[in-house]
Chain A
C-alpha cells in the first residue's frame, strides 16, 4: 500500500494479520490513546444507544466508591424490594393466570361516557346514565358468558352500577366467574409539536383510585397508550418514551395496590399504505422499549397482562391474509415478550368481527404451545353486532345477549384452535373504525 511490502504479523491473540510496517508503527504508537478513546466512546455509545441513560443520575453513572465505605452495608441500588414487600403479589400472579386461562378472553367494555355515547347514538339510543347502565347490564347478564370470558373491563361509572333489580355488576360478574377490571387512564392528550401523537393521562392520584377500585371489587386495571405509525416518521422517539414511561409507572402503581395491570401499547391501525413489515418493525421496537421500562420500574412480569395490536398493514394497503398477520404477529411477540408474561390479549382495534376471530385462530396454528396464552381482549369485535341487534329495544334484549355469547364463543373456539370457518355469527363484516378521541376520558 505504501511501497513497502506488507508483512505477516502474528497478533497478540495468535492470529496472523497482514499489516504494512507503517500501520504497525502507527498502531503501536496509538494503542494507549485508542484504549482511552475507546472507553470514552463506549460510554458515549452506550448513552447514544440507550438514550434512557439520560435519566440515570450522574452520581450513579460515575460511581467511584472510596474504600472507606467498606464495612457500611448499603443496599444494592439495582435490587428492588417491591416484589418481596408487596402483600398482593401471589394474588396478582394467580389472577393474571386465571384471566389468561385456556379458552377464554377479555370483554373490553370500558368505553368512556363520551365514546359510549357516540355508539349508542349511532343506533338511536340517547346517551344517558340509565341507558349506559342498561347496555352494560345486557352485556354482563348474558347467560353463559363466563364460559368464554374471563375478565370484563369497566369504566369508572360502571364499576359502581347495579342491575335494574339492584344487584351490583361486580356481583353479577363474580357469579359468572368473570373477574372485574377497570380502566384507570383518563384519556389521550395531544403532544405539542408532534404530528397528532398522544400521551395518556391519569397518573395523578392513581394510587388512591386503584385502592378504591380494589375495595369495590376490581382485580385488574387497564391503561391504553396509543402510538401512530406511518411509512417514515411515526411514531416519534418522544412519543414512544412518553408512553412507555407512563405505562411502566401505571403498572407499578397498579401492582402496588392489588390490581393486575393490562399493559396496552397500541400501535394503532391508521390511514396510509405502510406495509405489514413496517408495523412489525415498529411494534417490535415499541414492545422492547416498554419491556425495558417495566423492568426499570420493577414491575413483576408474572403479574401483568399484555394487550398489543395484531400486526396489520395500513388501512389503504391491501388487507393482509390471516397467515401473514399470524406470521408477523407471532414473530414480533417471540422477539420482544418474555415467557413470564402469562397472557397476551390482542385488541381488535378496527378489525371486523369475523376477521378478529379468524386471525386469532391463526395465531394458535402459528405458535401452538406458546409460553404465553394468545387470546383476546375485544371491544368492538364483541359489541358491534350486539349493540346493533339491541338498538335500545327491550324486545331485542335476548337476541342481543344471544349474539354476544355466540361471538364470545366463536373467539373462545378460535383461542383453542377449534373454530370452524364459515360458522361465524357475524360473517363478512368490514372494518369497525373509530377516530382517536382526545381531551380526557375522565367523563
Chain B
C-alpha cells in the first residue's frame, strides 16, 4: 500500500534526520507546548475571556506564549497552528517569524496538519480525522516554513452502553495515523501519533486502561504494517483515568492512575519509540503537573527486583500540554499589553513546573492562577458537519460543540 511504499523509500540519511529530531523533542527535563488550537477552538476561549477572535489577537496571544527568554530550558518543541507559522513577533527586535523565534530559543517548531474530526457514516458518534487531501504538499510547505514535526489527532470514544468504540473505528483511525505518519516522514517531519481516547463518559479507569491497550495495539500493529520508522515518531496519549461522569466514590488515587498508565504503555509501546508525550485533556493545570510527576517517579522504579538495572520505561515520559500550559497565561494577559510581562512569566513558570515533573522532581506551589478550575471541554474538534448526536456524556452546561461558518477548521 501507498504508505508502506513511501516508508520503504526513506533513505538512511532521512531516517537519521528524523531520529535526531525525535530525540531532540524527547529528552529529559523538556516537553512540548501544544499551541495549535484551530481558529474556532481558540476563538471559543478568547471570546470566553471577553476578547475578539481576530488574526491579530491570536497572533498577539501566541507571542505571549513564545516570548519567555528561558523557554528553551523547559520546552523542546511547540506545536503551532498552520496560520501561526507565518506570523511574526512584533516585540522581537528583529521582528522574526515565530518559527525562527522559537528556533533561536532551542524550541523546535511543529505544526498541526489535520483538519479536524468528521463522524463515521455507520457510527455517528465515532469519528475519523480529515486532512489527508494534499497532505504531502502541505507538509512540504510546512517544512519550508520551518516546521520540523507534525501532529494529527485521532479520537476514540468510549460509551459502554452503546458498545463504543467499535473495532472498525480503531482500525480506520489507525490506518489514517499510519498514512499520515508515512507522509510526514517522507517530508522530513517527525509525526506525533495521537490516538486520543476521550475521558467523556462514566467508565471506570480499568475500562479506560483496557480500551487504551486495545487502541494502542491496533495503532502499533498498523504502523508496523505500514513500515513507519518508529524511531522517528512520538506517541501522544491520554493519561489513564476514570471517565468524567463516573461516580466519585471508587475513583482511584492518583498513584493508582499513574500505575495503570505505565502498565498500559509498557504493554503496547515498543522501546524504539523515543518519547511518550501526554496530552492534558481537561485536567487542571496543577493536576496535570502532579500526575506527570507521579508517572515519572514511578517510572524510575525497576519493574522487577530480580533485574534492578533494567529500564522500566525505555521512552521519555513527558508532556504535550495545551490548556494546562495556557489557561493561566490567557487569564493573566487578558488581551492587555500592560499584562504582557506578567503573562509571559506565568507561561515560563508553567513550563518550568512541568519540566520538573518530567524529571520526577516537581515541588509546589504550582504557578497556576486558576486553582481548581476544570479545563474540560466537550466535543472539542467537531466541525459544522458534525451531526452532534445526543446521548450521554454531553454535559448540558458545557455543550460547546463548535459550529463555525467555515465548517472545516476544528482542533
Contacts and interface: CB of A to CB of B under 8 A. Distances in A.
| A and B: bona fide binding partners | yes
A154 B81 CA distance: 60
Interface in A123-161: none
A70 interface: yes
Given A13-B115, A342-B304, A45 B123 contact: no
A64 B174 CA distance: 20
Nearest to B223: A288
A72 B159 CA distance: 12
Nearest to B3: A49
Given A78-B214, A371-B303, A288 B224 contact: yes
The size bracket of the interface on B is 35 or more
Contacts of A249: none
B307 A102 contact: yes
Given A45-B175, A295-B213, A371-B271, A53 B168 contact: yes
B50 interface: no
A50 interface: yes
B225 interface: yes
A140 B176 CA distance: 53
B392 A70 contact: yes
A15 B39 CA distance: 13
Nearest to A342: B304
B43 interface: no
A434 interface: no
Interface in A7-34: 12-15, 17, 34
Contact of A15 (B141, B172, B311): B141
Interface stretch (B92-100, B262-270, B349-357, B370-378): B262-270
B309 A369 contact: yes
B217 interface: yes
Given A60-B167, A338-B267, A97 B304 contact: yes
Given A13-B82, A50-B225, A100-B306, A338 B268 contact: yes
B266 A338 contact: yes
B167 A78 contact: yes
A302 B307 contact: no
A39 B83 CA distance: 27
B161 A69 contact: yes
A32 to B, nearest CB: 10
Nearest to A52: B221
B121 A101 contact: no
Interface string B148-190: 0000000000101111111110011011101100000000000
Nearest to A72: B161
Contacts of A79: 206-207, 210-211
B272 interface: yes
A334 interface: yes
Contact of A371 (B178, B210, B266, B306): B266
Given A70-B391, A369-B311, A373-B310, A42 B221 contact: no
Contacts of A289: 221
B136 interface: no
A193 interface: no
B369 to A, nearest CB: 31
B159 to A, nearest CB: 9
A289 B221 CA distance: 7
A292 B217 contact: yes
B241 to A, nearest CB: 16
B172 A78 contact: no
B1 interface: yes
Interface in B267-297: 267-272
Given A79-B211, A335-B230, A98 B224 contact: no
B116 to A, nearest CB: 9
Contacts of B313: 339, 371
A339 B266 contact: yes
Contacts of A84: 206
Contacts of B118: 35, 39
A104 B391 CA distance: 55
Contacts of A48: 1
Nearest to B175: A46
B279 to A, nearest CB: 21
A328 B276 CA distance: 24
A76 B243 CA distance: 14
A301 B270 CA distance: 13
A177 to B, nearest CB: 12
Nearest to A339: B266
Nearest to A285: B224
Nearest to B161: A70
B234 to A, nearest CB: 15
Contacts of B132: 38
Interface string B90-122: 000000000000000000000000010010111
Interface string B2-27: 00000000000000000000000000
B224 A336 contact: yes
A3 interface: no
A76 B160 contact: yes
Contact of A337 (B174, B175, B263, B270): B270
Contacts of A296: 217
A76 B207 contact: yes
Contacts of A335: 224, 230, 270, 272
Contacts of B312: 339, 371
Given A70-B162, A76-B160, A338 B306 contact: no
B221 A74 contact: no
A291 interface: yes
Contacts of B168: 43, 46, 53, 56, 60-63
Contacts of A63: 122-123, 163-164, 166, 168
B310 A76 contact: no
B218 interface: yes
B314 interface: yes
A13 B224 contact: no
B222 interface: yes
Nearest to B229: A335
A288 B314 contact: no
B267 A61 contact: no
A2 B94 CA distance: 42
A369 B307 CA distance: 9
A216 interface: no
A285 B267 CA distance: 18
25 contacts: A12-B407, A12-B409, A13-B408, A14-B81, A42-B172, A45-B1, A46-B175, A50-B171, A50-B174, A61-B122, A61-B168, A63-B168, A70-B392, A74-B161, A77-B167, A80-B210, A97-B304, A97-B306, A97-B307, A292-B217, A292-B221, A335-B272, A338-B266, A339-B314, A371-B303
Q: Which 3 A-B pairs have the closest CB atoms?
A: A288-B224, A101-B306, A295-B217
Given A50-B225, A340-B263, 4 more contacts: A63-B166, A65-B162, A78-B167, A97-B304
